[in-house]
């Protein structure tokens, strides 16, 4: 398990030798630098592949340049030593990316009626072949073969998305669940937790939770925050159950999914703490009053309020209180069990929650601050005592 420690302090206390402290620092530095290199490399490969495809904008030109990059990359990987291997990975993946992206765009543009029938099995074939190579090839080639596995998964999911584009809600929801499971499985297979973390996007889309971008503004929306909170809570519970019962590699991927679920769940709580929730309204939006049928806003708003009253309603104040309690409990439990990611998420959203409520609910209610501050003091004392009783008692020999 990864822990946050101060090596200088441990060295001063005599708990570590200078050699041990130096080795810990070296490994930490190497891990962080490797992460930076991989982020820059991956971003460059994706940007170059997409840039060349849209810049050339010609199927034959993209295919020829992609094949040239691919051939040059493979030649570097086969003929040179480790010093130039990174360049070989880059060339190979830029070429493969151009062929995959260019071919997919060509299919969707020129053959839209049959694109899904080609992409679905093609993605399976590419991912399967690359997975075999990932297992059999030398470790030095796993970056390239693993990336092709992910490309195959992407082709397969694009094909399914195109095929189900006009389907009603239930098949789309099942597709999102399938996509989330497949992305998580692919990320675990290639052992890249950043890929596993991406599974949260389709998983959240089951209830249409997502994000949007406008000029100079980012937005998060959750039309069914109650369901989203329960959904993310269920994922956290499942991953928490799985982490101690699975090998460390799988447990680390389950852990990143749990952190992402905590982030999305907290964002859904933020929406609900501002707007409340009329549970299930998004599923019956077609039956809601239409603004075009009314002559003024007040009449429309009154009809919409009457329609929303038919559903189970939870006040934003209820969400605010429950969210605050869960954040405090979550921060304490995460700290007690060494879950740094959950601890950071809980503390961050505690700040967001407090900041939001100050301006939205209690900006002109000084008594609330006084009572809240007085209530926080015994709560902090209780958490301190609970920690002493549970985690600082002498352990039996």
- Summarize pLDDT for 306-354 with one digit per residue, the tens: 888 889 899 998 999 899 999 988 888 888 887 888 888 888 998 888 8
- Separation CA 216–CA 213 (nearest Å): 8
**DSSP helix/strand/coil, 5:** coil
Per-residue pLDDT at 2: 66
pLDDT score for 390: 63
> Tokens 């501002």 belong to which residue?
274
> Using CA atoms, how far apart are residues 30 and 23, in angstroms rounded to an integer?
10
What pLDDT, on a 0 to 100 scale, did the predictor assign at position 250?
93
Q: What percent of the chain has pLDDT over 90?
A: 44
Burial class of residue 100 (count of CB atoms within 10 Å of its CB; 0-12, 13-18, 19+): buried
Q: Which residues contact 86 (CB under 8 A, 6 or more apart)?
A: 37, 41
DSSP state of 361: T
3-state helix, strand, coil in the chain (%, to 5): 80, 5, 15
Question: pLDDT tens digits, residue range 69-122?
Answer: 999 998 888 887 777 888 888 999 999 999 999 999 999 988 888 888 999 999
Contact 167, 112 (CB under 8 A): no
| Pairing, β 217-221 against β 277-278 | unpaired
Burial of 255 (0-12, 13-18, 19+ CB in 10 A): buried
Task: Give φ, ψ of 362 to 5 degrees.
Answer: -125, 20
Strand, coil or helix: what is 364?
A: coil
State what percent of residues in the chain have pLDDT above 70: 91
Strand partners, 212: 219
pLDDT category, 232, cuts 50, 70, 90? very high
| Paired sense of beta strands 313-314 and 210-214, if any | unpaired
- What CA–CA distance (Å, rounded) separates 83 from 94? 19
Interatomic CA distance for residues 198 and 195, integer angstroms: 5
Distance CA(183)–CA(178), nearest Å, equals: 9
Query: What are the phi and psi torsion angles at 14 (to 5°)?
Result: 80, 10
**pLDDT tens digit string along 128-180?**
999 999 998 888 788 899 999 999 999 999 999 999 887 777 889 999 999 99
Confidence of residue 396 (pLDDT cuts 50, 70, 90): very low
Q: What pLDDT was estimated at residue 30?
A: 86
> What six digits make up the tokens of 161?
């998305």
pLDDT at 253 > cutoff 50: yes
Return d(Cα 107, Cα 59) in angstroms, integer.
Answer: 10
Task: Tell me: pLDDT of 380 over 80.
Answer: no
Q: How far apart are CA 201 and CA 177, in angstroms?
A: 10
The conformation of residue 314, written as its DSSP 8-state character, comes to: E
Give bridge partners of residue 210 from the DSSP assignment: 221
Q: Is residue 219 over pLDDT 80?
A: yes
* Closest of 227, 219, 197, 223 to residue 208, by C-alpha: 223
List phi, psi (to 5°) of 218: -110, 145
**pLDDT reported for residue 397:** 41
């Amino acid at each position: 398990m990864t822990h946050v420690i101060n090596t200088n302090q441990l060295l001063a206390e005599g708990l570590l030798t200078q050699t041990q402290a130096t080795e810990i620092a070296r490994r930490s530095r190497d891990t962080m630098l490797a992460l930076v290199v991989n982020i820059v490399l991956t971003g460059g490969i994706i940007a170059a592949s997409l840039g060349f495809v849209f810049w050339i904008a010609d199927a034959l030109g993209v295919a020829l340049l992609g094949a040239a990059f691919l051939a040059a990359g493979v030649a570097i990987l086969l003929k040179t030593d480790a010093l130039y291997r990174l360049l070989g990975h880059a060339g190979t993946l830029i070429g493969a990316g151009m062929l995959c992206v260019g071919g997919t765009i060509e299919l969707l543009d020129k053959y839209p009626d049959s694109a899904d029938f080609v992409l679905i099995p093609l993605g399976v074939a590419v991912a399967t072949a690359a997975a075999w190579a990932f297992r059999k090839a030398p470790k030095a080639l796993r970056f390239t073969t693993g990336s092709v596995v992910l490309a195959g998964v992407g082709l397969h999911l694009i094909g399914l998305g195109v095929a189900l584009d006009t389907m009603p809600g239930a098949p789309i929801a099942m597709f999102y669940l399938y996509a989330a499971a497949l992305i998580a499985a692919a990320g675990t297979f290639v052992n890249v937790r950043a890929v596993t973390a991406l599974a949260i996007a389709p998983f959240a889309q089951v209830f249409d939770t997502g994000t949007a971008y406008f000029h100079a503004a980012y937005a998060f929306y959750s039309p069914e925050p109650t369901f989203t909170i329960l959904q993310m809570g269920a994922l956290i519970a499942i991953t928490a159950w799985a982490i101690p019962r699975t090998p460390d590699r799988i447990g680390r991927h389950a852990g990143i999914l749990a952190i992402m679920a905590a982030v999305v769940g907290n964002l859904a709580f933020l929406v609900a703490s501002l707007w409340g929730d009329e549970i299930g309204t998004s599923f019956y939006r077609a039956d809601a009053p239409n603004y075009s049928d009314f002559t003024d806003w007040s009449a429309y708003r009154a009809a919409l309020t009457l329609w929303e009253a038919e559903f189970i309603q939870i006040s934003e104040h209820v969400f605010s209180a429950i969210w605050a309690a869960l954040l405090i409990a979550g921060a304490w439990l995460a700290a007690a069990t060494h879950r740094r990611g959950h601890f950071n998420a809980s503390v961050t959203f505690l700040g967001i929650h407090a900041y939001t409520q100050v301006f939205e609910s209690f900006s002109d209610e000084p008594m609330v601050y006084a009572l809240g501050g007085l209530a926080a003091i015994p709560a902090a004392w209780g958490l301190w005592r609970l920690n002493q009783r549970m985690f600082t008692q002498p352990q039996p020999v």
